[in-house]
Amino acid sequence: MTLLRPELLLLGPAGALLLTFALTFQWRRLARLDRAYGHEAARRLVSRRLKGFPTTRMLCLVLASLALGTAAAGPHRIAPEPPEPAPPLDIALAIDVSASMSATDIEPSRIERARDVVERIAEELPAARIVLVLFADWPYTLVPPTDDPAVVRYFAQSLSADLVLDRDQGTSFSTAFSEARSALDARPRPGARRAILVLSDGGAHEDMASILAAAESASAEGVPLWTAGLGTTAGVPLTTELGPVLDRAGRTVVATLDEDLLREVAEAGGGDYQNVSDERGLRALLTGLGELDDEPGDGGGAPLDASFLLTLLAVPLLLWEGGLDAGRLQRSGPERETDA
C-alpha cells in the first residue's frame, strides 16, 4: 500500500483537532447557557440536554476526519509485477478419414462432426498455430503450420471419408502420431508450447502395444497427445455406395467407438480424452485446450478504490453526528442524560 499524495495525509489529524476544538467550544458555550438560564429553560431553547460532554459526537467527527484525510492522500495498492506472457501454442490436429468415419451413428456423420470440431477449435483458439494432418492407413499433412484461422476453416470444409484410395483404407495410429509430431518439429517457434490432438473413432488395425509406444514417442519432450472420440459405443453397420461393408467372413462390419483405446492413448501421451460427439464433450475439450493457450490474468480484476471506501465510511459517521447535534438521537427518560 502506498499514497499518491502523502502530503495530504496531515489533513486527517489536523481536521480532527480542529473539529474537537470546535465541539469543545460549543459544549462550553452551552454549559454557560445552562448555568445562566437553568437546566430546564436552556434545554427548551436548544432542544437537547446539556449535561455531559458529547463524547459520541467527538468520536464520530474524529473518525470521519481521519477517514477523509486518508482518502485525500490517495491510498492504493502497489501493483505487482506483470506476469510473463504465456508462450504461444502450436497444435497439430490429426483427423481420421478412414471409411469408418463415414458412419452416421451421430448426426450428420462422424467425419462431418470432426469438421465442425476443427472449425470450432480454429475459432476458439485464434492465437494458436494449427497443423492439419489427415490419416487412414497412411498419413499426410494437409495444412502446414498456420496462424490464420480462415485457412484452417477453408481446408476443414474438404474433410470427407473418401479422401484416401481404397487400397489405403484402414487406421494406422502410429504413423499418424509420427506425422503430426514431424509437422510440429518442421517449423518450430522458439519457446512455443506444442500439443497433438487426434480426432478418431478409435478403430485401428494395429496392436495396442504398438499404438501406445507410438503415443509415448510422439509426446516426448513435453508435447501432450490428446484424443477426441467420435461416434457411439453401440456403433452402426458400415455401408458405402456399393452396399454394406463385409469382413472376410462375410459379416457386415459394425463401426463402433473404441473409447478404451482412445483413453489409453491420451494417458500414454500425457493428454486428455473427450467424447466430442455432443456439445458437452466439445466444450470440455475446448476448455482444456484453452488452458494451454490462455495467458495468465492480472489477478482477478481491478481492486476497489480505497479512497472511495474511506469516504463511504465517513458519510454515516457524519450523518450520525448530525443526528446527535440536532437532538434527534437522544434517549428518553427523566434521569438519563445524552452526550450530545
How confident is residue 340, by pLDDT bands cut at 50, 70 and 90? Answer: very low
Q: Which helix (H) or strand (E) holds 155?
A: helix 149-156
Backbone angles phi, psi at 223, to 5 degrees: -110, 95
State yes or no: pLDDT of 25 exceeds 60: yes
State yes or no: pLDDT of 29 exceeds 50: yes
Delimit the domains of the chain by residue range: 2-79+305-325, 89-293
State yes or no: pLDDT of 74 exceeds 80: no
- 127, 286 contact by CB (below 8 A): no
Is 119 in a helix, a strand, or coil? helix
The per-residue pLDDT for 274 is 96
State yes or no: pLDDT of 272 exceeds 70: yes
Q: What pTM was estimated for this model as a whole?
A: 0.63
β-pair partners for 200: 229
- For the record, the C-alpha cell of 327 comes out as 437532538
Dist CA 277 CA 231 (whole Å): 6
- For the record, the C-alpha cell of 245 comes out as 461393408
How confident is residue 14, by pLDDT bands cut at 50, 70 and 90? Answer: confident
Query: Among candidates 148, 185, 151, 155, which has minimal Cα distance to 95?
Result: 155
Query: Among candidates 56, 51, 29, 57, which has minimal Cα distance to 334?
Result: 51
Contacts (Cβ under 8 Å, ≥6 apart) of 113: 106, 107, 230, 276, 277
State yes or no: pLDDT of 227 exceeds 90: yes
CA dihedral for 202, 208, 214, 220, sign (positive or negative): positive
The per-residue pLDDT for 339 is 44
Contacts (Cβ under 8 Å, ≥6 apart) of 196: 91, 92, 94, 177, 180, 181, 184, 218, 219, 223, 224, 225, 226, 269, 271
State yes or no: pLDDT of 297 exceeds 60: no
* C-alpha dihedral, 124 to 130 to 131 to 134, nearest 10°: 0
Residue type, 199: L
Average model confidence (pLDDT) for the chain? 81
- For the record, the C-alpha cell of 287 comes out as 476448455
- 91, 130 contact by CB (below 8 A): yes
Range 167-171 average pLDDT: 58
- For the record, the C-alpha cell of 26 comes out as 460549543
Dist CA 152 CA 173 (whole Å): 22
β-pair partners for 21: none
Highest mean pLDDT pick, 141-155, 290-304, 310-324: 141-155
Query: Among candidates 202, 203, 196, which has minimal Cα distance to 217?
Result: 196
User: Which architecture does CATH list for 89-293?
Assistant: 3-Layer(aba) Sandwich (3.40)
Which has the minimum average pLDDT: 38-42, 61-65, 84-88, 278-282?
A: 38-42
| Beta carbons within 10 angstroms of residue 52's beta carbon | 12
* C-alpha dihedral, 94 to 100 to 105 to 110, nearest 10°: 30
The per-residue pLDDT for 311 is 82
Dist CA 117 CA 233 (whole Å): 19
> Could you tell me what percent of the chain has a pLDDT over 70?
78
Backbone angles phi, psi at 220, to 5 degrees: -65, 160
Alpha carbon of residue 325 to chain centroid: 52
**In this predicted model, what pLDDT tens digit does every residue of 132-142 receive, in sequence order?**
999 988 899 99
For residue 139, is the peptide bond before it cis, meaning its omega torsion is within 30 degrees of 0?
A: no
Range 157-164 average pLDDT: 73
The per-residue pLDDT for 151 is 95
Range 267-282 average pLDDT: 96
How confident is residue 245, by pLDDT bands cut at 50, 70 and 90? Answer: confident
